[in-house]
Structure 1
């Protein structure tokens, strides 16, 4: 016969899982607003910079894949991406940086 104390024991792994909070409606709203602000800033970039950011970060293509789609060399895509990210950082509101 097991004691009642045994039933109250929880393994450490179970405790770690219980500590993870689930996203609530507030988190979903905040994420949506953040995404909207980010996309609005991306729209302010030049055409090639928008395409580069979209391919690299929104579609998840590699530098080589992005270069092939854009008809550029890898180095040109890296430079374009660098300039786009720096410009985007300047356009983002302080709270999103």
Structure 2
């Protein structure tokens, strides 16, 4: 260490440069490219759904459809149009109401659906 001479450079910048180079070396290494996580190795894909997942989702969706159909007419129409991806402005134009009224109907429908005892039973316990 007797040969070290301070050059006036920032020590933090030097450490950042070293860390950046280590990360770049890691991702460029053959080991990183050859490593396979357990999920990939087992062939599981997050986008793949099991038959159990599909059944549960179908049950939840049918319960949701039933709950939406129990809403008052104006809320039901707005909710179905919104669920189909219709923009709020188009819903308002189609139903001949203002866009703010559409938003109010959606809010009220969400509140009623959240309080629906059948839906809360289907959804199961929520994580808090």
TM-score, normalised by the number of residues in structure 2 = 0.59
**Residues of 2 paired with 1:60 and 1:29: CA distance?**
24
- Higher normalized helix content (fraction of residues): 1
**Equivalent residue for 2:89?**
64
Q: Are 1:82 and 2:107 matched, yes or no?
A: yes
Superposition RMSD in Å: 2.5
Structure with bigger RCO (C-alpha 8 Å, 6+ apart): 1
TM-score, normalised by the number of residues in structure 1 = 0.76
**Residues of 2 paired with 1:16 and 1:67: CA distance?**
50
Larger Rg: 2
**Equivalent residue for 1:6?**
none
- Decide whether the 8 Å contact of 2:60 with 2:122 is kept in 1: no
How many residues align? The count is: 88
Q: Which sections of structure 1, spanning at least 5 residues, go unmatched? A: 1-8
Match of 1:64, SS state, is helix
